[in-house]
A and B are shown apart, each in its own frame.
Chain A
Amino acid sequence: MRAIRPKIRSHTREHIVTIDTDSAPRIMFSGENLIMEDLPVGTRVIYPNRPMTPVANPKAAIRYALNHPESCEPLHALLEPGMKVTIAVDDISMPLPIMRTPDVRELVLEIVCEMLADHGVDDVHIIIALGLHRRMHDWEIKRMVGQKVWDEFWPDRLYNHDGCDPDGMVVLGKTPHGELVEMNRRVAESDLTIYVNLNFVPMNGGNKSMAVGLCGYESLKAHHTPKAIVESSSYMDPPKSYLSHSFKRQGDLVEKSLKVFHIETVLNNRAFDGPLSFLTKNEDDFTESDRLKYQAMKWTLDKLPFAARREIFMRTPAAYELIACYAGACDPTHDKTLAKQNEQNCVEVQGAADILLMGIPYISPYNVNSKALNPLLVQVMALGYFYHMYRNTPLLRDGGVLILTHPCSDKFDPVHHPSYIEFFNRILTETTDAYTIETKYQDELAYNPSYVEMYRHGNAYHGAHPCFMWYWGQRGREKTSRVIVVGADNATVPAIMGWETAGSIAEAIAMARGTMGRSAQITMMHHPPYMISDVT
């Protein structure tokens, strides 16, 4: 294996490196493995910002937010003895990878529950606001909320939301645009709802928390459509996101109907530390120790079977730290959250790329503790989330070529993703047209009794979830001219998704240059951790 050469040049801008003849090769994720590639001279490599300094005392920061909320009375002033309170909390789809304990949600819940107890509020339920995500396993909930909350509330007063429970859901009304707004019955009947959000990407939090986290399928399908995705440029840029506008309309109706106190937490981007900290570094700055760590890790990963490789990564939680906590009314709180998050995650980039290169890691919001990143989730990471990680104008110009690295194995988790299997093998082989899928197949999967049962009582994503995942990549699909996958272990999976394959990055770039020309601008996004390109 080649060693990474030491840095011999300095850089004018920390988060953007332009590859030169003496530059080190770059490390990319390819599922549960890493690859190291020399990139062509002139390639731009975009790195995330350094992790921001965490708050010195997270519990103090949370208490301060509760006592100094945005456009709202402090939480303690909203409490009365005997009132009915529901705490809704985000599920483990964020952050990625899962964070070390104590999870920031545990800290918030402990403080809020103590405050409720101190004010004589006994009728308290905690609901995992998972929308149509899979129900969290009991051990996942315990890890997330912590032992104290678990002991106090599980299982009668701490449980997963069920968006398909006919008796557990109510309709709050319709927005002026005709979007149905369903709500968890317990929440709708509470005197106060406290929403505990862990904000990791700009599309989450704010109005989405209540409107999506506690809704049912009929509400969700108002905005989880190919049209909404195509008209969002991007969905990581809320003012320009059709999705966010729809969340806002639904959220406004929720806020008008119910009394909600929002708590939002922001984390820095310290995804890896300790022995894995080299993964977040500029390869030109590697020390001898970093090189040895990489080579040892690569050697180990190459020797291990898939399941063991996956286990290594899944058992390595991230070292995220709290950088801010805000609370109060929905919009003012979320505005502050977004500002802080952009401060951490936005990197300035000048000019769009003709060819965009990205490594797809082992994890996505929808396969935490699952057995694989299945092909649909590879698609949603590439054409969905990573494509949309921009503000202003797209990082990959319209008609550009996307190159991604992933094995694209035909592997699914039958417990977490049963309907994905049918979607991929039956529906996607009949049509890849998202609009046809929406009208012809979405309801069929949504109301399939087996999938309903597995969502409600097992640990499966909702039957229609794979449709949403396909829509999630719709803009990326429409705006790219070619998608080339490097390192695929089979040709079938990429072909079903309409992708081409290449044996190496060099071959993929040569193919892409065939479309974009010899002078095409090549950009690589160096993640995780993720970053949002502020393209000017």
Chain B
Amino acid sequence: MHRVSPKYKNSAAFYDVDGTLIKINIVHAFAFYAKRHASLAQSAVSTVKTAASIPVFWAADKLSRKWFNEIFYRSYEGEGEDRLVVLAEELFEDVIKPNIYPRAKQLIEDSRRAGVRQVLLSGALDFTMRPLARYLGVDDLIANQLEFVDHYATGKLKKPFVAGATKADIMRTYAKAHDIDLAESWAYTDSFSDYPMLAVVGHPTVCNPDFRLRSLARSYDWPVLDLDEEPGRATSRRPQGLARDPRDSRRPRSIRRT
């Protein structure tokens, strides 16, 4: 292949992760930790507690991403830092890696080839995202950080929270620090709650969008990617104009003569 020089010099691509590059979200990661306590009894209790909390998490997320973060990350209170970090590798191999969207890695590779700086911008916890960032080969990872006191989680996040409008602020700060032109940069997300990060770049792109974001993308004519399709397979939009000659009703047979 004729290798062309990178076309973009001061551009970055910012990716939301949960739902955008991977099919799962932070609740799956927490459930993974909950299931892996030292004692079976504790694992069972944690798992049941997590399952029971899901409606609360869902409701909080619908009301405010900030509330959701405050309620959700309280669940980590008392967890040991070393345990969380060590299990993160296993979390990646067992849970995250099988749930990476089939076309996500290719998207990042094509983007990097064009000379664009690759940045993951996630509301998930940084130690759970590090193996993914390494696997995808991105340049930078910006994620939420748990507050630890004496190596035990307090259940609070360090500020600023990586969510909603704060993501846009973080991107502006990052762009300034790395001499990035946001007008020549990309943002990828699946959720309407990330509208601010789409609003600050010149090339907003939505991936596997929820209904509200899809409607918004259609209104603004933003590109819509479906990273869930297997590479090499065609998408299956409703056929139009697929008129078949009614006279052509022959039964198929094999090409190979036997």
Q: What is A's interface to B at a CB cutoff of 8 Å?
A: 97-98, 100-102, 110, 113-114, 117-118, 135-141, 143, 146-152, 155, 159-160, 164-171, 180, 182, 216, 218, 310-311, 314-317, 368-369, 371, 412, 414-415, 418, 421-422, 425, 443-444, 446-454, 456-459
Contact = CB atoms under 8 A, between A and B. Distances in A.
Interface in B228-258: 229, 231-237, 239-245, 248, 252-257
Contacts of A169: 1-2
Interface in B16-73: none
A369 B7 contact: no
Contacts of A453: 103, 106-107, 110, 225
Contact of B240 (A160, A311, A452): A311
B255 A137 contact: no
Given A314-B241, A457-B106, 12 more contacts: A148-B254, A148-B255, A149-B255, A171-B2, A412-B221, A448-B114, A449-B110, A449-B114, A451-B223, A453-B103, A453-B107, A453-B110
Contacts of B126: none
B148 interface: no
A101 B252 contact: no
B8 interface: yes
B111 interface: yes
Contacts of B236: 137-139
B110 A456 contact: yes
B13 interface: yes
B114 A452 contact: yes
Nearest 7 interchain pairs by C-beta: A314-B241, A449-B111, A147-B252, A447-B7, A138-B234, A421-B221, A450-B205
A315 B1 contact: no
Nearest to A159: B232
B243 A316 contact: yes
A317 B107 contact: no
A137 B234 contact: yes
B256 A151 contact: no
B223 A117 contact: no
Given A415-B235, A444-B7, A143 B186 contact: no
Contacts of A113: 255
A316 B242 CA distance: 9
B116 interface: yes
Interface range for B: 35 or more
A101 B246 CA distance: 9
Given A315-B243, A316-B243, A451-B223, A136 B234 contact: yes
B248 A102 contact: yes
A152 B248 contact: no
A139 B2 contact: no
B203 interface: yes
B114 A447 contact: yes
Contact of B13 (A167, A216, A311, A449): A449
Given A139-B236, A180-B2, A449-B13, A151 B254 contact: yes
Given A166-B113, A414-B223, A160 B234 contact: yes
Nearest to A444: B7
A109 to B, nearest CB: 9
Contacts of B4: 218, 447
9 contacts: A114-B255, A117-B255, A148-B254, A169-B2, A171-B2, A371-B240, A444-B7, A449-B186, A453-B107
B241 A152 contact: no
A415 B186 CA distance: 19
Given A414-B224, A456-B110, A459-B234, A449 B253 contact: no
B239 A139 contact: yes
A114 B225 CA distance: 39
Contacts of B229: 457-458
B233 A155 contact: yes
Interface string B198-242: 000001010000000000001001011110010111111101111
Interface in B78-105: 103
Which of A113, A137, A165, A168 has the most C-beta atoms of chain B within 10 angstroms of its own C-beta? A137
A75 to B, nearest CB: 16
B218 to A, nearest CB: 7
A168 B2 CA distance: 11
B203 A459 contact: no
Contacts of B1: 165-171, 182, 216
B237 A137 contact: yes
Given A143-B244, A316-B243, A456-B110, A414 B218 contact: yes
